[in-house]
Structure 1
Amino acid sequence: MSSLDKMWLSFYAMGFMVISMGLIYLSRYKIKNRVVRILFAIIAYTLLITSFFAMVYLVFNGPTGGA
């Protein structure tokens, strides 16, 4: 994976974290329908776990050794 691809992956992971933060806030405090709350929470935690694994991959993969 090139350095540019790693940059885009880190941007996607940060975006997923922001989206999951908003969805968790909505599911806890704003939405009253139980089914929608559960659906939003599942989507939020899935995005959060996905971004966690992406960041772990990026941190432990290290630099590419390019110029």
Structure 2
Amino acid sequence: MTKMWISLIGIGLMAIAAVLITVARYKLKGVFRFIVSTVAFICLVVGGILGFLSIA
């Protein structure tokens, strides 16, 4: 049961990262684009780690 929640949180973080990258690429410029892209990258990495932990 715990692995299911970890997996769902990981999938959610990856989805949030995809939305943030889309917003940063098409709507933002300058420093805001860099900040949102960095947050998206962090979400993607954390989501990937949680996804790996749910498998292991």
Task: Establish whether TM, by shorter chain, passes 0.5.
Answer: yes
Runs of 4+ in 1 over 3 A off after TM superposition: none
RMSD: 0.9
Counterpart Cα distance in 2 of 1:56 and 1:11: 12
TM-score normalized with structure 2 length: 0.90
Give the helix-richer structure, 1 or 2.
Answer: 2
Could you say which structure has the larger radius of gyration?
1
Deviations 1:34-54 (A, max 9, x none): 111111000000000001111
What runs of 5+ residues in structure 1 fail to find an aligned partner? 62-67
Which structure is richer in relative contact order (CA contacts within 8 A, separation 6 or more)?
A: 2
What runs of 5+ residues in structure 2 fail to find an aligned partner? none
> Aligned residues: percent identity?
30
